[in-house]
Amino acid sequence: MGESIGQTLPLAVGVAISPIGIIASVVMLTTGRGAGNGLAFLLGWFVGLAAACWVLLQLNLGADPTTGGHPADWTSYARIALGLLLLVVAHRQWIKRPAEGEQPALPKWMDKVETINPPRAAGLALLLGAINPKNLILTMAAATAIGQTGASDPDQLIAVLSYSAIASVGAAVPLGIYLFMGDRADSMLARLKASMGRNNGVIMAVICVVIAAKLIGDGITTLSTF
């Protein structure tokens, strides 16, 4: 179990500091149902990540992640492929970053937040957490890493929940500010949203490059070892 959690930790951190979850959480807190929507969004984000990771893990296990007690070759190739895909994502994020002084474009659904209630906030978070392309690539890598260890089902479940909990920290930060910072919360959330929106492309590009390097390095190391 410790190995599974250790392997997925960088991937979970990558999801946690992804601007989209943080910005969306801030937006939820600016509605008339601030606390309710914020809590619902955080729960949906966690459940979406956990469900996606568990489903992908089961698909991985259908292809036997180990041979003779060692990781199967396909898991190494999968890591390399995911790493290369992240490099493509990093390139796209970098070239799409806003120019100096340009206002970053935010998703259109954020213009309609006043109509969002807790069930819709949870549903939106579930979708963003589970099938957002950047999250999905990192979650696929996490599922591959967990499956590669050959851990028992209970340990795999704990690893999935640990991955999802760590990956939800970013979405939880705005809620913590909202609940505990009193009169300063509004200004702090506004600055956080503006900073994340302005630097979204750069942040995601750096995250993707760092994690891609780890995945490709791990994949090459495993192949050369066995």
CA 4 to chain centre: 17
- Chain segment 19-63, per-residue pLDDT in tens: 888 888 888 888 777 789 999 999 999 999 999 999 998 886 545
Alpha helices in the chain (DSSP H): 2-16, 19-29, 34-61, 73-95, 118-131, 133-148, 153-167, 169-180, 185-198, 200-225
Distance between CA 195 and CA 192 in Å, rounded? 5
- Chain segment 162-171, per-residue pLDDT in tens: 999 999 999 9
Closest CA to 40 of 112, 115, 121: 121
Domain map (residue ranges) of the chain: 2-225
pLDDT at 103 over 70: no
Calculate mean pLDDT across residues 109-138.
Answer: 83
Q: What is the pLDDT of residue 224?
A: 61
Question: Higher pLDDT residue, 73 or 156?
Answer: 156
Mean pLDDT over each residue of the chain, to the nearest integer: 83
